[in-house]
Chain A
Amino acid sequence: GQSLEQPSEVTAVEGAIVQINCTYQTSGFYGLSWYQQHDGGAPTFLSYNALDGLEETGRFSSFLSRSDSYGYLLLQELQMKDSASYFCAVRASTDSWGKFQFGAGTQVVVTP
């Protein structure tokens, strides 16, 4: 089986930096993905890490440590539009290829 843990909510002010942690337990591991979902909207892909290290995409960065079964999403220069839920997702190598499991999500609240 698989399990993912991420904080339920994080609050920060505009311009700040927020780090959303995700720890996982899987039987085998392909990689860790991150998705953003605004209220009432669809999840949208942000990033994917298969190897250890940091991946940077604009204001967002994602990190993975396979040995620690841990990753994080870093949101920099927070903007009001970044208020959303953020999900980590994994796929276990022992599961069928398309079987992604999503974490419960972290609600990020950005205040003025």
Chain B
Amino acid sequence: DAGVIQSPRHEVTEMGQEVTLRCKPISGHDYLFWYRQTMMRGLELLIYFNNNVPIDDSGMPEDRFSAKMPNASFSTLKIQPSEPRDSAVYFCASTPDRASGNTIYFGEGSWLTVV
């Protein structure tokens, strides 16, 4: 089975530009998560969805960040405008349902550098 698929794998962009990260969760998984990982702050939950509905976005750092899940097989995380402090690895992850929800399946990550 295909795992969680993220794109792009690497992105270098200039400060002020819009960045869109994309994610395809594992088919049949009801929950989708966006995490950010940095050396300073570790692995942080930004937002998660259940059946395409945002449930908790309390980790979204500020209004420059937005996430959508228009259907069960696709989600985006957008940063506009981007800033150097947004440089991080952004992971998308999914899990089937509450019963098996203690296992989170991560994608390979999108490595973002904002210069």
Pairs A-B, 10 closest by C-beta atoms: A42-B106, A102-B43, A96-B56, A48-B102, A98-B48, A45-B103, A104-B42, A43-B106, A42-B108, A99-B56
Residues of A within 8 A of B107 (CB): 42
Interface residues, chain B, with chain A CB atoms under 8 Å away? 31, 33, 42-45, 48, 50, 55-56, 58, 91, 95, 98, 101-109
User: Interface of chain B, helix or strand or loop or mixed?
Assistant: strand
Residues of B within 8 A of A99 (CB): 45, 48, 56, 58
A30, A33, A43: which has the most chain B beta carbons within 10 Å?
A43
Q: Are A98 and B42 in contact (CB under 8 A)?
A: no
A33→B103 CA distance, assembly (Å):
8
Known: A97-B98, A98-B48, A98-B56. 9 other contacts (CB 8 A): A33-B104, A35-B104, A43-B43, A44-B106, A50-B102, A98-B45, A99-B58, A102-B43, A103-B42
A2 to chain B, nearest CB (A): 11
B5 to chain A, nearest CB (A): 11
A36 to chain B, nearest CB (A): 11
B92, closest chain A residue (CB):
A42
Q: Are A42 and B42 in contact (CB under 8 A)?
A: no
A87→B58 CA distance, assembly (Å):
22
A97→B31 CA distance, assembly (Å):
10
Q: Are A48 and B103 in contact (CB under 8 A)?
A: yes
A4, closest chain B residue (CB):
B42
If the complex has contacts A43-B43, A96-B56, are A33 and B33 also in contact, measured as CB distance less than 8 A?
Answer: no
A41 within 8 A of B: yes
Residues of B within 8 A of A71 (CB): none
Residues of A within 8 A of B101 (CB): 97-98
